[in-house]
Amino acid sequence: MNAATGGRLSVVAVPIGNLEDITLRALRSLREAEIIACEDTRRTSQLLELLGLPRPTLVAVHDHNEDRTAARVLEWVQAGRRVVLVSDAGTPAISDPGYPVVKAVAEAGLAVVPIPGPCAAIAALCASGLATDRFRFVGFPPARRDARRAWLETFAGAPDTLVFYVPPHDLETFLEEAAAVLGSERPAVIARELTKMYETFERGTLGHLAKTPGVVRGEVVVLVGGAAPEGAPDDGAVESAARAVLAEGFTGARAAKELVRRTGVDRDTAYRAILSARHGASPEAGEPSDD
């Protein structure tokens, strides 16, 4: 909070589908707000009604007025007002309007308070089954085909799990282009309608999903496994190295860390290799204890 005026900007995450995902802090912040800067005043009015909350002053902040609204929000916070920033769903400023608003208040040295909660990218990632130790959120792809392919090429060698927001009407085309540019054998996941009644996860290779994307509807997050580093060891070499690490007395997280150092595989792969080697270890090798 701004010590001089008491004003603050709270960046509040709201549900992406299931109302039960609203947090207690978010409820309190919305209830105490004097002004809510929101992507769509109608959507936010409906949300407040569903949550049984009072309706304060609502101000639209969207792609066409962000800079102007940022100046107004800054004035309100400087004057000691309690302002809340929300988007239609999920976390504000994450592929949604809000960044200029937050930037203006932060650069003025005033209080910006994050109220964390739902985020489609994180919800999809944590349930995807792809590596989570390194990921890159890249948001919506360009609309034009040639620009989209060039954009995808910039991520072709990235070792991180890639997280995309894809409009449902572009899903089939996007998957075909991603398979061509990133590699048809890359593991991938399509997450639809997260937290809603028809939530689904489709898992497979990019090539397989491009041919059978499933029902195309609702909000879509596409995740693609990271590229293997050049000269990466094959599975047999990793398994052999894992057995050697255990035989040398490394255990638990230290064993996985040592395997990463020796082979260059990602942490999730190292953990799986250590677990596999541990279960296959001979009685003479002993059972590694946890760190």
What's residue 286's pLDDT? 39
Residue 262 CA to residue 241 CA, distance in Å, equals 8
pLDDT digits (tens, 9 = 90+) for 213-257: 877 777 899 999 998 776 566 777 788 889 888 988 888 888 888
CB 60 within 8 A of CB 38: yes
Cross-strand partners of 221: 165, 191
User: Is 3 a residue whose pLDDT tops 70?
Assistant: no
pLDDT digits (tens, 9 = 90+) for 171-198: 999 999 999 999 999 999 999 999 999 9
pLDDT digits (tens, 9 = 90+) for 62-88: 888 888 999 999 999 999 999 999 999
What's residue 5's pLDDT? 60
Domain ranges of the chain: 8-118, 121-224, 235-285
Mean predicted confidence (pLDDT) in 45-51: 97
What's residue 285's pLDDT? 38
In terms of pTM, does the model score above 0.85? Answer: no
Mean predicted confidence (pLDDT) in 19-35: 97
**Buried-exposed string 132-166: b where 16+ CB fall within 10 A, e elsewhere:** eeebebbeebeeeeeebeeebeebeebebbbbbbb
User: Is 39 a residue whose pLDDT tops 90?
Assistant: yes
Cross-strand partners of 220: 192
Pick the CATH number of 121-224 from 3.30.2130.10, 3.30.930.10, 3.50.50.60, 3.30.950.10: 3.30.950.10
Residue 47 φ then ψ, to 5°: -60, -45
What's residue 281's pLDDT? 54
Other CB atoms within 10 Å distance of the CB of residue 97: 23
Amino acid at 59: V
Share of the chain above pLDDT 90, in %: 67
**Buried-exposed string 195-207: b where 16+ CB fall within 10 A, e elsewhere:** beeeeebbeebbb
Distance of CA 218 to the CA centre of its chain: 17
Structure tokens at 85: 């920033």
Task: Name the CATH superfamily for 8-118.
Answer: Tetrapyrrole methylase, N-terminal domain (3.40.1010.10)
pLDDT digits (tens, 9 = 90+) for 92-136: 999 999 999 999 999 999 999 999 999 999 999 999 999 998 899
Residue 106 φ then ψ, to 5°: -65, -45
Specify the higher pLDDT residue, 230 or 206.
206
Residue in 99, 96, 181 with CA at minimum distance from that of residue 147: 181
Amino acid at 105: V
Residue 189 φ then ψ, to 5°: -140, 135
Structure tokens at 176: 């075909």
pLDDT digits (tens, 9 = 90+) for 268-290: 888 889 998 888 754 333 334 44
What's residue 262's pLDDT? 79
Residue 166 CA to residue 117 CA, distance in Å, equals 21
